[in-house]
């Protein structure tokens, strides 16, 4: 199972919006609405911020939003803040009863 493809890095200024893409196949991202996104600050465990493509867990800022089109999912961070600097990973359920993560994206706030 190959990792989902994400850009290695994305940057933006405070207050701007950025979008991170996550490209898979019809056997994972494109085949199911079971795409999730995780935020991982340096040295910390991952934290779930989006599940089932568009849903936010309780307590997660509404500045985070998710979407999907075909085999590509996207995470948008609006009103970028310095606290958003972290690594971000997408993940998807797959057709072989597995999970697959994305390659990860480092977000830098300029």
When binding is defined by CB under 8 A, the residue of 47, 64, 67, 78 that contacts other proteins is 47
* Residue 59 binding other proteins, by CB under 8 A: no
Residue 99 is a binding residue for other proteins (CB under 8 A): yes
* 41 near other proteins, judged by CB under 8 A: no
DSSP E strand stretches across the chain: 9-12, 18-23, 35-40, 47-50, 64-69, 72-77, 86-93, 99-101, 105-109
Q: Yes or no: say if 45 and 89 are a contact pair by the CB < 8 Å rule.
A: no
Is residue 24 within the footprint of other proteins (CB under 8 A)? no
Confirm or reject binding of residue 64 to other proteins (CB under 8 A): no
Q: Report how far residue 49's alpha carbon sits from residue 41's, in angstroms, rounded to the nearest whole number.
A: 13
Among 68, 104, 107, 109, binds other proteins (CB under 8 A): 104
- Give Rg (Cα) of the chain: 13
Shortest distance, position 35 Cβ to other proteins, whole Å: 9
Report how far residue 99's alpha carbon sits from residue 110's, in angstroms, rounded to the nearest whole number. Answer: 33
Contact set with other proteins (CB under 8 A)? 1, 3, 32, 34, 36, 38, 40, 45-48, 51-52, 57, 87, 89, 91, 93, 96-104
């Amino acid at each position: 199972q190959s990792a989902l493809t994400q850009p290695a890095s994305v940057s933006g200024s405070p207050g701007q919006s950025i979008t991170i893409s996550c490209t898979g196949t019809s056997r994972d991202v494109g085949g199911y609405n079971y795409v999730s996104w995780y935020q991982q600050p340096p040295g910390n465990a991952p934290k779930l911020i989006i599940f089932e493509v568009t849903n936010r867990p309780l307590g997660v800022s509404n500045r985070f939003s998710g979407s999907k089109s075909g085999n590509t999912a996207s995470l948008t961070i609006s009103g970028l803040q310095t606290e958003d600097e972290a690594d971000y990973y997408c993940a998807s359920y797959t057709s072989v009863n597995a999970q697959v993560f994305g390659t990860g994206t480092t977000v830098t706030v300029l």
